[in-house]
Amino acid sequence: MEKFSKWDDEEVKTLFKFVEIKKSEGMPLVKIFDEYSKCTHRQKNSIRNYYYKELSFLLNNKNLVKELGIDLTCHYVNRGVPFSRVEEKEVVTKIDSLIKEGNSVRKACLILSNGDVPTMLRLQNKYRSLTKKKENVKNMGQIIKMPTKCERITEDDIKALFMGLVKLVKKQEQENIKSVYENELNKANEKLKLALAEIVEKQNKIERLKKEISIVKSELGKSKEQIIKQRIIKNKNLTVTDAMKEYFSNKTTSKRAILKNS
* pLDDT string in tens for the chain (262-residue length): 455 556 888 888 899 999 999 988 888 888 899 999 998 888 888 898 888 888 888 888 888 888 888 888 888 765 556 778 888 999 999 999 999 999 999 999 999 988 877 788 888 988 998 888 666 555 555 554 555 554 567 777 787 888 888 888 888 888 877 777 677 777 777 776 777 688 778 878 888 888 888 888 888 887 777 877 777 776 666 555 666 676 667 655 555 555 555 5
pLDDT digits (tens, 9 = 90+) for 69-84: 888 888 876 555 677 8
pLDDT of residue 234: 67
pLDDT digits (tens, 9 = 90+) for 162-174: 888 888 888 888 8
* pTM (predicted TM-score): 0.33
What is the DSSP code string of the chain? --------HHHHHHHHHHHHHHHHTT--HHHHHHHHHHHH---HHHHHHHHHHHHHHHHT-HHHHHHHT--GGG-----PPPPPHHHHHHHHHHHHHHHHTT--HHHHHHHHTTT-HHHHHHHHHHHHHHHHHHHHHHTTTSPPPPPSSPPPPPHHHHHHHHHHHHHHHHHHHHHHHHHHHHHHHHHHHHHHHHHHHHHHHHHHHHHHHHHHHHHHHHHHHHHHHHHHHHHHHHHHHHHHHHHHHHHHHHHHHHHHHHHHH-
